[in-house]
Amino acid sequence: MNAGNRTTEETEIRRVIEDRVAALHARDVDRLLRHYAPDFLSFDVVTPLQRSGLEDVRTRAEEWFGGFDGPIGCEIRDLSIAAGDGVAFCHSLNRVHGKTRDGATINMWVRATVGLRKQGGAWLITHDHTSVPFDVKSGQARIDLEP
């Protein structure tokens, strides 16, 4: 793949990541799901160990969106994209923030890695991995870290 094609692919992938942020902000499950492949596998920040398939993404997104009062903010930092011929991955640090229905404020940085494949002319997410690290001594997930 030449440098020009690579730039084009990276631009397309950046648009996928940005549209996912817009879908979160609007809490729009259908808009979110457009970016996922049917055989999608997720390693999410909270239990369980893994989730797979579009129906599972939908269920999780509906639950999660439903817990928020108002938009869900997502600020993406240090996005790095590696795009090849039909396969790409990217990683970033994402600050997720908003207010929950029970009045709590969510404001946490998560590590995000996304794997994509080009299928039918469009980049689709086949895998994502979102997490926070834990503290060895306490066993607590560190949702208070900042980059």
From 19-27, 53-61, 98-106, 130-138, span contacting a second copy (CB under 8 A): 130-138
Residue 5, beta-bridge partner list: none
Q: Which amino acid would we find at residue 93? A: L
Residue 125, beta-bridge partner list: 36, 116
135 in Cβ contact with 144 (< 8 Å): no
Q: How far apart are CA 119 and CA 115, in angstroms?
A: 13
Which position among 48, 66, 70, 71 is part of the footprint of a second copy (CB under 8 A)? Answer: 48
Task: Please tell me whether residue 119 binds a second copy under the rule CB under 8 A.
Answer: no
Which position among 26, 46, 104, 122 is part of the footprint of a second copy (CB under 8 A)? Answer: 46
Which position among 86, 104, 119, 122 is part of the footprint of a second copy (CB under 8 A)? Answer: 86
Which position among 32, 36, 61, 89 is part of the footprint of a second copy (CB under 8 A)? Answer: 89
- Tokens for 147, please give them: 């980059």
- Among 120, 118, 35, which Cα is nearest to 84's? 118
**43 versus 65: smaller Cβ distance to a second copy:** 43
Q: Determine how β-strand 51-52 pairs with β-strand 73-83.
A: unpaired
List interacting residues with a second copy (CB under 8 A): 1, 41, 43-50, 80, 82-89, 91, 93, 109, 111, 113, 115, 117, 126-127, 129, 131-136, 139-143, 145-147
